[in-house]
Structure 1
């Protein structure tokens, strides 16, 4: 019996001398792990918005945010270029509106001047038809745009929906339609 009583005080004394491990740190909050995208020198960031597809017609939304410190003026249509996997421009015609591609009312609304304060946004849409009648279909992997003619070109930012890049399956039509910017 005496052994049992000696073992207990010895165990208590040893446990008091050993440092207890630190509890694991709590997982970081989303604000600690996510970094806000940087604002390009242009003062605006353009990303992919809603996408729609039906019966060979594709519509891709473009979201523009004024991430700069100054008002940003838009008037008209974005200028677009489609690049292939190697970053070379494809031979693509860009039309204002959707005429000859699809009948979509929002594409035919005329542009209006917009002034975006810092933090404000605007949107536009791109439409194309994936039709191949003869020849080799064109596929674009990157969309670059200038928000207004004469402004710097910048790539459209992609999100998690596009893990392998953008896939603009233009068929052999080689034509995109674009809507005017809207608040």
Structure 2
């Protein structure tokens, strides 16, 4: 069925609390760093059901120094058109909140969207102790 799930974690390495609210800005890039034709949507609609973390309502999360927050993600590696090139993200750019620097993450495993071109993300959530 090709269902995949992963998360991106932000660790506060500073000395002050770091406030996050809602969803980060996420962009998928190919191996060469070029942008992919992919839709990043809030929630799991159209990808799967029963993904409570991805479909959770957004809330304000304040990350204390040394603590972390994460964004859950879900997608399907599904090929619906054998003539189309499958989408595979190898790099992800994340802007945690408006005005924050864009962070570039080289992924250890690809975000292999197949030909669906759709990635569902949830809102920022606290990492449980």
Query: TM-score with structure 2 length normalisation?
Result: 0.88
Deviation at 1:126, TM superposition (A): 1.1
Matched, 1:106 2:49: no
Deviation at 1:149, TM superposition (A): 3.4
1:177 corresponding residue in structure 2? 120
Structure 1 pair 87–119 and aligned structure 2 pair: CA distance change class (3 A) = same
1:116 corresponding residue in structure 2? 63
Q: Is the 8 A contact 2:90 2:106 kept in 1?
A: no
Q: Which runs of 5+ in 1 are unaligned?
A: 1-54
Matched, 1:94 2:37: no
1:149 corresponding residue in structure 2? 98
Structure 1 pair 177–149 and aligned structure 2 pair: CA distance change class (3 A) = farther
Q: Distance in 1 between matches of 2:38 and 2:106?
A: 20
Structure 1 pair 157–68 and aligned structure 2 pair: CA distance change class (3 A) = farther
Query: Which of the pair has more CA radius of gyration?
Result: 1
Q: Give the number of the structure whose residues are more often strand, by fraction.
A: 2
Name which structure has the greater RCO, CA cutoff 8 Å, separation 6+: 2
Q: Distance in 1 between matches of 2:5 and 2:98?
A: 22
User: Cα RMSD over matched residues?
Assistant: 1.4
Q: Which runs of 5+ in 2 are unaligned?
A: none
Matched, 1:60 2:6: yes
Q: Distance in 2 between matches of 1:149 and 1:174?
A: 25
Query: TM-score with structure 1 length normalisation?
Result: 0.63
Q: 2:77 aligns with which of 130, 139, 143?
A: 130
Deviation at 1:93, TM superposition (A): 0.7
Deviation at 1:169, TM superposition (A): 1.0
Size of the aligned set, in residue pairs, is 123
